[in-house]
Structure 1
Amino acid sequence: MTINHDSTLTCPNCGHVEMLAMPSNACQFFHHCSGCGKRLKPLPGDCCVFCSYGDVPCPPIQEQSGST
């Protein structure tokens, strides 16, 4: 299984798009948008900002689901 460590994060507030490297062994709970400065946090039921606003789920979730 190949784990993707890059995700494109889209701010729900301003629509700013950022390509970010995800931590490989932890979920990132907060991220400050570089477009509007808003502090993003996960939606209810998601473990991190990448699972809520990214195009790729975080590595721990990728490992759990077995996705590539």
Structure 2
Amino acid sequence: MKINLHSILICPNCKYEKEEIMPTNSCAYFYECKNCKQILKPKKGDCCIFCSYGNMKCPSIQQNKKCCWF
């Protein structure tokens, strides 16, 4: 299975979209929106900002593995 490392994050506050490259060796727990500067944290039950606000889940979840926070 090919892992997609690119995800478009969508800020829930201002709806700004930014493509980011996901790390493969750690989870991204905090992210500052490049537009409104709001600090994003994962939603309850999600392991990282990509799983909460991205159009692609993080690499661990794509591989059906546990995310690094659990």
Q: Structure 1 length as normaliser, TM-score? A: 0.92
Identity of aligned residues (%): 49
Which amino acid is 1:36 matched to?
C
Task: Extract unaligned runs of 5+ from structure 1.
Answer: none
Over residues 5-56 of structure 1, what are the superposed CA-to-partner deviations in whole Å (9 max), with x where a residue is unaligned?
0000000000000000000122100000001000000000000000000000
Do structure 1's residue 31 and structure 2's residue 63 form an aligned pair? no
Q: Find the counterpart in structure 2 of residue 42 from structure 1.
A: 42
Which amino acid is 1:7 matched to?
S
Contact 1:6 1:22 in 2 (8 A): yes
Task: Extract unaligned runs of 5+ from structure 2.
Answer: 66-70
Alpha-carbon RMSD: 0.9
Q: Structure 2 length as normaliser, TM-score? A: 0.89
Which amino acid is 1:50 matched to?
F
**Structure with greater helix percent:** 1
Q: Could you tell me how far apart the structure 2 residues matched to 1:11 and 1:19 are?
A: 11
Aligned residue pairs total: 65
Matches within 5 A, 1:1-68: 1-64=1-64
Q: Higher relative CO (CA 8 A, sep ≥ 6), structure 1 or 2?
A: 1
